[in-house]
Structure 1
C-alpha cells in the first residue's frame, strides 16, 4: 500500500480555493484527493449506484458458478453456458475498469 508522506503547499485566491472546494464536494471527494487526481490527469467519474450493480453482478456470477458446477456434474443441461460466462466476464471487466478510474 502506498503511503502519501509528501506535502505540497500551493497559493491560490479565495475564489480559486472556493471553486476547487466546491468541485471536490460535487464529486464527493476531499479537496486533497480532488486536486491530486486532477493534477495527475485522472478521470473523475461519478458512478452513483455502481456498487449496487457490482453487488448484483457478483450474485449473478455466483449463480453462474453454481450452474456450471451442476452442468459439469451432468445434473442439468445448460445451452451455451460458455458464451454466457464470457459475456458476464466482459461486463465485469468493464465495471472493474470504471472502478479503477474512479479510485
Structure 2
C-alpha cells in the first residue's frame, strides 16, 4: 500500500455548535480530525437532486390546479371530471418528497 503525501490544506469555518458536534464525533471515532473529515467527505455519497425547488413548485401548481377544478365543479361551472386518482397520486408524490426531504435532513445531522 502506497502512502500518499498530503500536501494540500483545506480550511473552512464552522459555528461553535457545529465545532462541538464534529469534535464529539471525532472523539467517538478514535480517528484524528483529519482522518475523520477525509473519511466523512470521501467515503459518503452525496445525492444531488437537480431542480428540486422547481419540481416542488410545479407539483404545488398541479395541486392548485386540481383544487381549482374541484371548486369550479362544486360551483356547477364545469362538468365534474373524476380527478380522485390524480389527486391521490399527487398526494403520494408529496409524501415521498417529504420523506426524501426528511432523510436528507437526517443525513446532514
Q: TM-score range by the shorter chain?
A: 0.5 to 0.7
Q: Spell out the pairing of 1:83-102 with structure 2 (5 A cutoff).
A: 83-102=85-104
Q: Mean Cα displacement is larger for which, 57-66 or 76-85?
A: 76-85
TM normalised by structure 1 equals 0.61
User: Aligned residue for 1:19?
Assistant: 39
Q: Which has the larger radius of gyration?
A: 2
Aligned in 2, Cα 1:23/1:59: closer, same or farther, shift over 3 Å?
A: farther
User: Aligned residue for 1:53?
Assistant: 55
Cα deviation, residue 46, structure 1? 3.3
Show structure 1 runs of 4+ deviating over 6 A: none
**Aligned partners of 2:85, 2:36: CA distance in 1, in Å?**
52
- If asked which structure has higher relative contact order (CA below 8 Å, sep 6+), I would say 1
Cα deviation, residue 49, structure 1? 2.3
Cα deviation, residue 15, structure 1? 3.9
**How far does the alpha carbon of each residue in 1:21-78 deviate from its partner, in whole angstroms, 9 at most, with x for none?**
4457x73xxxxxxxxxxxxxxxxx4333222211110011111111110011110113
Q: Aligned Cα RMSD in Å?
A: 2.7
* Ranges in structure 2 where 5+ consecutive residues have no aligned partner: 1-16
Aligned to 1:96, what secondary structure does the other structure show?
helix
